[in-house]
Chain A
Amino acid sequence: MVRETAPRTVPTTAPDTAVTLCGIEMTNPVMAASGTFGYGREFADLYDIDLLGSFSFKGTTPKPRFGNETPRIAECTEGMLNSVGLQNPGVDAVISEELPALAEVFHKPVMANVCGGCPEDYAEVTEKLEIADAQNEAQRRPQIGWIEVNISCPNVKSGGMVFGTDPKAAASVIRAVRQKTKKPVIAKLSPNVTDITEIGRACEAAGADGLTAINTLLGMRIDLKSRRPVLANTMGGFSGPAVFPVALRAVYQLCRTVDIPVIGCGGIASAENVLEMMMAGAAAVQVGSANLVDPYACKGIIEELPRVMKQYGIKALQELTAQAQVR
């Protein structure tokens, strides 16, 4: 019997999922979005969260916040409304409890989402995180990679979206944060504006190193039986697969307007969605609501990426972003 030669293998290199976001290298572009991943604990119990590119932790304010009254959640077609209202334990508890706990289970730079009622609040949270991380740095590498400035939360009366819908106010918050940190500053933008590029440009001019687009769309549901709004807060932020085209459009517009990287966020639920976002020019992506419906959503998307990249003949994800920016 003639011994067959070893099967001929076509030399293939694994698709390259690595990206760089504001100078920080990531093994893949998939981050969990702020407000859908807590401070990582719940998901670390389910899978090794080190496989994430990174994640943006829960919007953090100077003082603890309970948030809005319940109901805070409403079902929608291909999406959901939330009016949580930035419930968080406050920056001091985040530094003393959440970050040390996170260090046990996550060994990559995390994105810190900061929020407040006035520019000084944002500056205070940023400064405290910056100082805590610098002290931390002496022992090991920095835990916080980026500061994400939440100027787009629709669920708080003061701060949040109030800043993100006015170019001057947005710039004032970015400047306040910029002065307190050497880390890359990312402005998370609201889609609830006439022209998102105007806000994006204002943030860039004020010193932002990157943009996240988009936060939730302001929405509302009414209960037919009670004839009252479903949400105790009347209105809330709409997210989920239904908003993906809106997010993609915003990313596309921003990438053609600003010279800083844009993180695509809104309705991403598959590896295909990730590619589409990056073809629009996104340098990285955030997965939000999908985590709430399927706690393994990010893991699934990351594991699917190489296969889907091969399917569409993509060798390296960074090429998609670069090509989109050339056009």
Chain B
Amino acid sequence: MKNDIMTIQSQRRLAEETYEMVLQLPHAGALTAAHTPAQKQHILPGQFLNIRLDGSYLRRPISICEWTEDTLTIIYKTVGRGTTKMSRMQTGEKLDVLWPLGNGYDLSSFGESGSVSQSAAQPLLIGGGAGVPPMFGLCRKLVETGVQPKVILGFRSAADVFYRNEFETLGAEVILTTEDGSAGIKGFVTDAMDGICYDSLFACGPEAMLQAVDEKAPAGMPGQMSFERRMGCGFGACMGCSCRTKYGSKRICVEGPVLERSEIVW
């Protein structure tokens, strides 16, 4: 974990109460660009930042969407005073950030880039609402190692949809669902799972969505899901975000946010 002051390089509104912010790292080239095999600062899709905001006491945990050698991109919803204030910040303003936090998605099962197992793998990525951003970093990482993931994105309504084109630009097959049917398939992400061929599962979204996805997916299929909890510190000190797993209690901020499907207790 590092504590850095990052500079806002850009910020734009993506959808209803949804913003994308690009943060400039304090040291140029601090991160490994996703296309470079060697790793400087080890970072995995599914990890998060914890951001200190003026006027809020606790930091705000926000998942990393993607990264380059010099920048981190986050996408967040304005859910309260802190994030609303953040959405009004301008290019050039600075943020106090603890990062990278959490375990991230474990992609070790995907083997060497370009191998036969890579091209044969059929992972399904499911993101719901604020759970979509980490799926983007994951999707890019998979595509870069030669895997062709299928992606289901779920939102409440057309006004909430973001990053559909970005996923498609990566070359992923994208299925969109909205609860009111104003864009894509009407219904929940689980309604889009029928008829899709997949052999592993990655999901991030509200807990009710994760549980529904878990029930729909074939029992025993490998999968990883990222969970959200109210956090105190974000780095394992306060025990505020604990959850029960089949292998005992885990801190969502350190041993999570990503849990193996086989260890989740609903």
- Does A84 contact B239, Cβ atoms closer than 8 Å? yes
B156 CB → nearest A CB, Å: 15
Chain B, 224-266, contact with A by CB distance < 8 Å: what is the 0/1 string? 0000011111011111111110000100000000000000000
- Does B232 contact A295, Cβ atoms closer than 8 Å? no
Question: In the complex, how many residues of chain B place their beta carbon closer than 8 angstroms to a beta carbon of chain A?
Answer: 26
What number of A-B contacts does a CB cutoff of 8 Å give? 88
- Does A292 contact B242, Cβ atoms closer than 8 Å? no
Segment among A42-50, A128-136, A204-212, A257-265 that sits at the interface with chain B: A42-50
- Does B241 contact A72, Cβ atoms closer than 8 Å? yes
Majority SS at the chain A contact face: loop
The listed residue (B229, B235, B238) touching A82 by CB distance below 8 A is B238
Please, how many angstroms separate the alpha-carbon atoms of A29 and B240 in the complex?
27
Segment among A18-26, A31-39, A305-313 that sits at the interface with chain B: A31-39
Most chain A CB inside 10 Å of its own CB: which residue of B98, B232, B233, B241: B232
Please, how many angstroms separate the alpha-carbon atoms of A43 and B52 in the complex?
18
- Does A75 contact B57, Cβ atoms closer than 8 Å? yes
- Does A293 contact B1, Cβ atoms closer than 8 Å? no
The listed residue (A84, A240, A291) touching B240 by CB distance below 8 A is A84
- Chain A residues, Cβ within 8 Å of B240: 70, 72-73, 82, 84
Please, how many angstroms separate the alpha-carbon atoms of A159 and B235 in the complex?
28
Please, how many angstroms separate the alpha-carbon atoms of A76 and B80 in the complex?
12
The listed residue (B1, B98, B238, B244) touching A73 by CB distance below 8 A is B238
The listed residue (A66, A87, A292) touching B58 by CB distance below 8 A is A292
A34 CB → nearest B CB, Å: 11
A35 CB → nearest B CB, Å: 7
- Chain A residues, Cβ within 8 Å of B41: none
Judged by a CB distance under 8 angstroms, whether A100 is at the interface is no
Please, how many angstroms separate the alpha-carbon atoms of A87 and B232 in the complex?
14
- Does A38 contact B237, Cβ atoms closer than 8 Å? yes
- Chain A residues, Cβ within 8 Å of B39: none
Judged by a CB distance under 8 angstroms, whether A80 is at the interface is yes
Judged by a CB distance under 8 angstroms, whether A67 is at the interface is yes
Judged by a CB distance under 8 angstroms, whether A117 is at the interface is no
- Does A296 contact B3, Cβ atoms closer than 8 Å? yes
Judged by a CB distance under 8 angstroms, whether A245 is at the interface is no
- Does B242 contact A295, Cβ atoms closer than 8 Å? no
A241 CB → nearest B CB, Å: 8
Among residues of B, the one whose C-beta sits closest to the C-beta of A88 is B239
A88 CB → nearest B CB, Å: 8
- Does A67 contact B242, Cβ atoms closer than 8 Å? yes
Judged by a CB distance under 8 angstroms, whether A4 is at the interface is no
- Chain B residues, Cβ within 8 Å of A203: none
Please, how many angstroms separate the alpha-carbon atoms of A15 and B58 in the complex?
33
Q: Give me 10 other A-B pairs in contact (C-beta within 8 A), A67-B242, A293-B57, A295-B3 excluded.
A: A35-B238, A46-B1, A70-B241, A72-B241, A75-B56, A78-B57, A82-B232, A84-B238, A293-B59, A294-B52
List 30 contacting pairs A-B, 8 Å CB cutoff, sorted by A: A35-B238, A36-B238, A38-B236, A58-B239, A67-B242, A70-B241, A71-B229, A71-B230, A72-B230, A72-B232, A72-B239, A73-B58, A73-B230, A73-B232, A73-B240, A75-B57, A75-B80, A76-B57, A84-B240, A87-B249, A291-B233, A291-B237, A292-B58, A292-B232, A292-B238, A293-B52, A293-B58, A293-B59, A295-B1, A295-B233
Binding site for B on A (CB under 8 A): 35-38, 42-43, 45-46, 58, 66-67, 70-80, 82, 84, 87, 230, 240-241, 289, 291-296
